[in-house]
Amino acid sequence: MKLTTRSRYGARLLLDIALHSENGPVPSKDSARRENISLKYLEKILKILKESGYIKGKRGPNGGNVLTMAPEEISLGKLTEALEGEDKILDCDGDMTTCTRAAVCLRRSIWDDANQAMYKMLDSYTLADLIKDARLCPMDRPE
């Protein structure tokens, strides 16, 4: 499976907000510049993150984005699921309307196992883990 940019950029965006929120809300344009993500695309990701309850926006001259939960509570698996729209690496789910071979597929259980293993691994990491890694390697973080 190849994760889309929504998941990768979404994780980078939450990390940026966590790392730069010590002085209040983080403006979207600042995150876009630091993370080298177009502001238009970043705003689409922000919309999903707001709808999923990960962040909230504050308007006004000192406005921006803030996390709505502690970094320890944000699992990368759940974040990926929110941004990708579902938690399957393949469309195959045993439904004959999705795959005409579903009834005779001998590999479906392998794909199901792979899917569960991937999300179990992603769920074992949180935003707090990314923050810790970012602080250990500050040269990797653009300012």
Domains of the chain and CATH, by start: 5-87+126-140 (1.10.10.10)
| Count of CB atoms situated within 10 Å of the CB of 46 | 21
Under a CB-based contact definition with an 8 Å cutoff, are residues 11 and 77 in contact?
no
Which pLDDT score, from 0 to 100, does residue 44 have? 96
- As a whole number of angstroms, the distance between CA 127 and CA 112 comes to 26
Among residues 45, 79, 94, 96, the alpha carbon closest in space to that of 31 is found at: 45
Mean pLDDT, the chain, integer: 85
Query: For residue range 1-43, what is the model confidence (pLDDT) as tens digits?
Result: 567 899 999 999 999 999 999 889 999 999 999 999 999 999 9
For the question of whether the overall pTM of this predicted structure is more than 0.85, the answer is no
Instruction: Judge whether residue 110 has pLDDT over 90.
Output: no
Quote the Cα angle for 118-68-124, to 5°: 20
Average pLDDT rounded to a whole number, residues 111-137? 87
Does pLDDT of 102 surpass 90? no
